[in-house]
Amino acid sequence: MSCRPKLLVAVVFFAIGAIELFGQAPTPNLNENPESNTGALKEQIRTGGSYDAHSGNATRIVEDLHLPNALGKYGLDFTRYWNSLHADFDNTGEWPDDFGSSGWTHSWRWVATTGADTWAVDEGGNTTIQYWESSITIAFPDGHSVKYKIVRVNRSYDGEPLECRGRTGSIPPFLAQCGERDWPEPGEGVHDHLNDMAQDGAEFWLYLADGGSVHFTGGYGNYEATEVFDPNGFRTQLDYRSDGRLLKVIQDDGGRWLDVAWDYRAN
């Protein structure tokens, strides 16, 4: 006997006065290209589904809930995504478990996973250079992931700020003068940027290729995406249960929201 989570979605949608609200149709953006094996940098084969011959990744998209005329580019839709390859295979991300171990994700699932690594390089003259890497892997709603990282080294360079010389370790503080506020681009073809990292690591922003942004708060190692802004600045608030599962999607300062209930039943 196994337990599979079933998702119940309730929607409350209010219109104020006699004003008719029109949805904003998304504009295609050629730069919306993700990274990693679960991304879609290569052309997709559409016969019988969506398949990337380069990485071997197959995807499925199921729209469970669509609200016509919802505000903002992202609306209040609830869509599920499945990838045959997952973020934890190649980018140290988390296995999607919102719907059990099947690996399905959904349109409001943003996950930031912190990581650390260290290694040494022997140089001439019996000199050992030690490196420390801090990383944050962002799992996007469609299942692809991007790994951002900064590297510290226990040596100094000419012209380097005094505070940055010989910095060690993989944890905060993150110093702006050392290039740790706006993290480097993770690779060619990725147009989503991790910026505005707080010095104590308490929060950061992910600026998306389409002009939107996601605000992560909660502290280093405990991040949650708490608000999402579409390219026009329309804000969506994300609330969570104590176990980290999505509880409510709120828009328009509470005027419209999506209630999410997770129901586990044996079958």
3-state secondary structure the chain: CCEEEEEEEEEEECCCCCCCCCCCCCCCCCCCCCCCCCCCCCCCECCCCEEECCCCEEEEEEEEECCCCCCCCCCCCEEEEEECCCHHHHCCCCCCCEEEECCCEECCCCEEEEEEEEEEEEECCCEEEEEEEEEEEEECCCCCEEEEEEEEECCCCCCCCHHHCCCCCCCCCCCHHHCCCCCCCCCCCCCCEEECCCCCCCEEEEECCCCCEEEEECCCCCCEEEEEECCCCCEEEEEECCCCCEEEEEEHHHCEEEEEEEEEEEC
Q: Which residue has the higher pLDDT, 19 or 109?
A: 109
Q: What is the pLDDT of the chain when averaged over all its residues?
A: 80
Q: What is the pLDDT of residue 235?
A: 94
Q: Which of 77-81, 159-163, 224-228 reaches the highest mean pLDDT? A: 224-228
Q: What is the per-residue pLDDT across 26-78, written as a single tens digit (0 to 9) for each? A: 444 444 444 455 555 455 555 556 777 777 778 888 889 988 878 889 999 99
Lowest mean pLDDT of 7-21, 89-103, 143-157, 188-202, name the range: 7-21
Digit-coded pLDDT (tens) for 223-258: 999 999 999 999 999 999 998 899 999 997 768 899
Q: What is the pLDDT of residue 183?
A: 97
The tokens for 122 are 């022997």
Above pLDDT 90, what percent of the chain? 43
Residue 11 β-bridge partners: 258
Q: Residue 19's pLDDT is what?
A: 33
CA 32, 217, 186, 88 torsion-angle sign: negative
* 261 touches 250 (CB < 8 A): no
Q: What is the pLDDT of residue 188?
A: 83
- pTM exceeds cut of 0.85: no
| pLDDT of res. 39 | 55
Which of 225 and 8 is assigned the larger pLDDT? 225
**189-192 long-range CB contacts below 8 Å, 24 or more apart?**
189/33, 189/35, 189/41, 190/33, 190/34, 190/35, 190/146, 191/31, 191/32, 191/33, 192/34, 192/138, 192/146
Q: For residue 73, which amino acid is it? A: K
Say which residue, 99 or 182, is predicted with more confidence. 182
Band of residue 87 on the pLDDT scale cut at 50, 70, 90: low
Can you give the pLDDT at residue 16?
33
Percent of the chain's residues with pLDDT above 70: 75
Buried b (16+ CB within 10 A) or exposed e, 228-246: bbbbeebebbbeeeeeeeb
- Quickly state the pLDDT bin for 22 (edges 50, 70, 90): very low
